[in-house]
Amino acid sequence: MSTLQLIHRFIEHEYKADSLNLAIQDGVGAGQSVPHLHCHIIPRYSKDGFGDGIYALLEKNEMNLGPDFFKKVGKPMVVLQDDEREPRTMEIMEKEAKLLSDHLEKFVKEIDTKQESTCIA
């Protein structure tokens, strides 16, 4: 749970989200589609207008998430159909993972610095 709380704060910071939806799926009855416990973290924006309706929308459109489904602030999220998607190379995924890892490390250092300065004051 500590990791989830950290990543929650990081995503709000990194993607300028107003808030997040967290969904843990454990078991087929809970919508689990892969055979391990996992958590979905969905950045949310006050202007998205979905509210609690996000769950019904996700369920209804699970296999048909088009480019207008979510709108980030000022920029629509583009989600291609599976047959239109180009496979991402290991190199691309490693670069993305490294970038996010670096940003997370910097974020954690900023948090630690703020906590230290609060303790000193």
Q: What tokens does 5 get? A: 């709380």
List Cβ neighbours of 24 (8 Å cut-off, separation of 6 or more). Answer: 30, 37, 38, 39, 40
What residues are labeled active site?
38
* Nearest residue to 7 (alpha-carbon basis) of 92, 120, 111, 93: 111
Q: What tokens does 93 get? A: 């995924």
